[in-house]
Amino acid sequence: MTDVFSFVPGTMPVLVTLPHSGCHLTPGMEKRMTERGRQLPDTDWYMEHLYAGALSKGMGVLKAHHSRYVVDLNRGADDAALYPGRPSTGLVPSLTFDGRPIYRSGQEPDESEIAERREACWRPYHDAVSAELERLRQKWGWAVLWDGHSIKSTIPRLFEGTLPDLNLGTNSGQSCAGELQARLERRLAGNAAYSHVVNGRFRGGYTTRHYGQPEHGIHAVQLEIAQSTYLRSEEAPWPIDLEKAVRLSRMIDGLLETALCWRPGK
């Protein structure tokens, strides 16, 4: 497999992680997949373009290269359910978000292969996240982790109705300081072009919940973006709408700037 992630360290106390924008697969994996699975429909498309402004602001950016179908970096190594009672997509998914098989019958990874993927991909990614957050905390006294995601705006199997445009998650206020959340909420409310919700259907995955420890100086937020805000179609081949993407990037830049300007206790 190719390197599992790319990482550009930043000079400011904010780290942006993009765990689901990669499309690489393990050797031989594609041959075992269904036609639908090979399309990688649950990819967070074009995130590196939407978050291009992060680097110019001095933020670090860590981007996964492999598909979430190899291993989902926003799930715990123990594959514990994030939302009990709802369908779980899993550490190593076997079904797409809409419930279709990813693998041909009998070709699903066994426990040994799942363990190999976890050690080869999940472990080094999270080792890198942990190390960078600690570096930032030691340098600045605090760090902000911004976990960037996008998803199809309607997925009946996972949520009812149509998702708001911008979905901010802070593990119900536990993963970051209240003032940081309040500032981000004000920024979201100040732009009527996008609907938004805070701690709605998506309250933050493993990354937000695990690393967000404001009492120890680590503040984490997740932004889940409805793909209708920047794609011309939410079906294959998922073409980008450049005009909409540029407009959305400006909104993301504003949110990142809010996180960057925030200071603990102020």
Of 6, 21, 11, 126, the residue nearest 60 (C-alpha):
11
Mean pLDDT, rounded, of the chain: 96
**What average pLDDT does range 28-43 have in this prediction?**
98
Q: Residue 6's beta-bridge partner residues?
A: 63
Cα–Cα dist 165/223, whole Å: 10
Q: What does the pLDDT read at residue 89? A: 80
| DSSP 3-state of 21 | coil
Q: How do residues 174-208 score in pLDDT, each as one tens digit?
A: 999 999 999 999 999 999 999 999 999 899 999 99
pLDDT in tens, 210-234: 999 999 999 999 999 999 999 999 9
Mean pLDDT in residue range 102-126? 98
123 occurs within a structural domain: yes
Establish if 108 belongs to a structural domain. yes
Q: Residue for token digits 């040994």? A: 112
Q: What is the mean pLDDT of residues 94-101?
A: 96
Report the first-to-last Cα separation within the chain, whole angstroms.
Answer: 45
Q: In percent, how much of the chain has pLDDT > 70?
A: 97
Residue 202, number of CB atoms within 10 A of its CB: 22
Overall number of domains in the chain: 1
Domain contains 266 = no
> What is the per-residue pLDDT for 85?
66
**Measured in whole angstroms, how far is the alpha carbon of residue 214 from the centre of its chain?**
20
CATH number of the domain to which 174 belongs: 3.40.630.40
Neighbours of 34 (CB within 10 A): 15
Nearest CA-CA partner of 259 in 158, 185, 190, 201: 185
At residue 139, does pLDDT exceed 80? Answer: yes
- Distance between CA atoms of residues 132 and 143, nearest Å: 9
Mean pLDDT in residue range 75-102: 87
Give the model's pLDDT for residue 254: 98
How does residue 81 score in pLDDT terms, banded at 50, 70 and 90? confident
Q: Which residues pair with 66 in a beta bridge?
A: 24
DSSP letter assigned to residue 141: S
Query: Any idea what DSSP says for residue 95?
Result: B
The pLDDT confidence band at residue 235, using thresholds 50, 70 and 90, is very high
Domain membership of residue 206 (yes or no) is: yes
- pLDDT value of position 48: 96
CA dist., res. 17 & res. 222, Å (int): 10
Q: Residue 213 contacts by C-beta under 8 Å, 6 or more apart in sequence?
A: 175
Place of tokens 């598909």: 67
Residue 180 lies in a domain: yes
pTM for the model: 0.96
Q: Which domain holds residue 88?
A: 5-261
How many Å apart are CA 43 and CA 21, to the nearest integer? Answer: 6
Distances (CA, A) of 206 to 45, 103, 123, 130, 261: 20, 25, 13, 13, 25
Name the region of 187 (left: φ>0; alpha: ψ -120 to 50; beta: rest).
alpha
pLDDT of residue 3: 87
Which DSSP state fits 122? I
Q: What is the mean pLDDT of residues 31-40?
A: 98
* pLDDT for the residue numbered 115: 97
Provide the edge-to-edge strand list for the sheet that holds 5-8: 5-8, 60-64, 14-18, 143-151, 218-226, 166-169, 196-198
Q: Across the chain, where does the E strand assignment appear?
A: 5-8, 14-18, 60-64, 143-151, 166-169, 196-198, 218-226
